[in-house]
Each structure stands twice: as C-alpha cells, then as structure tokens.
Amino acid sequence: MNFPTVAQVKAHIRVEIDDEEDDLIQEYIESAILMISRYINQKIYENEVPPEESNGTIFDVTMRQALYLIVGEWYRYRENTSTSDMHPLSNGVKQLLDPIRKRNA
C-alpha cells in the first residue's frame, strides 16, 4: 500500500486550504511514518520489504489509519506550547498499532 498523499491527508483532516499548508502536512506525514516505525519496532516500506531486511514490514491500512489520527492531532494542536499537554501517541493510535508491534525482548 502506498503512503498517503498530501491530498488524501488533507481530505481526511478536512483541510480545504489549497497549497498553503502542503509542506507542513508533508512533514507531518513523514514524521508520522517515522513515529509509527519506531513504535512498532520495524522499518516501514511502501510496497515491498527488501530480501535483506529482517525487521521490515509493508505499510498497511492499519498504519494508514494511525497516520491519519497522528497527523490530524498534530495539525489541530500545532500551537501547543506546554509539553504537559502533549502525548506521543493517543490511545486510538496505540490500539491500532499494538497488535502489529514487535516487543523487544
């Protein structure tokens, strides 16, 4: 499954501004993919895991939904100035990702 495009994410989070926010949303997408990868302890690939990669997984619909939730929250609360209000991952994101998370022994 391909990573979501800026247009897909904008539709999901209901952003109707044409191009003003595209760079920001693209950075959120890339950061969310990295955050998901770190949380599940696997490198995420868009379409195919290279044969030499022993700890990789393909981006799937569960990760897509988690990404939408993460980016939506970051976009909505981007003016947060207090770190006490910030949570790395919401419970909804964790519920999506926990079943595919590799636990370190």
In the numeric block, the tokens 């100035």 are attached to 81
Contacts of 40 (CB under 8 A, 6+ apart): 57, 97, 100, 101, 102
Task: List the alpha helices (DSSP H) in 1-105.
Answer: 6-12, 22-40, 61-76, 91-97
Domains of the chain (ranges, CATH numbers): 6-100 (1.10.3230)
pTM: 0.86
Q: Mean pLDDT, to the nearest integer, of 9-36?
A: 89
Report whether pLDDT(15) > 60.
yes
Sign of the dihedral defined by the CA atoms of residues 83, 85, 43, 13, in that order: negative
Report whether pLDDT(23) > 80.
yes
Q: In one letter, which amino acid is 45?
A: Y
Report whether pLDDT(105) > 50.
no
Q: Which of the residue ranges 64-73, 83-92, 94-103 would you say has the lowest mean pLDDT? A: 83-92
Task: Give 54's DSSP letter.
Answer: S
In the numeric block, the tokens 């994101």 are attached to 93
Q: What is the token pair recorded at 28?
A: 């959120």
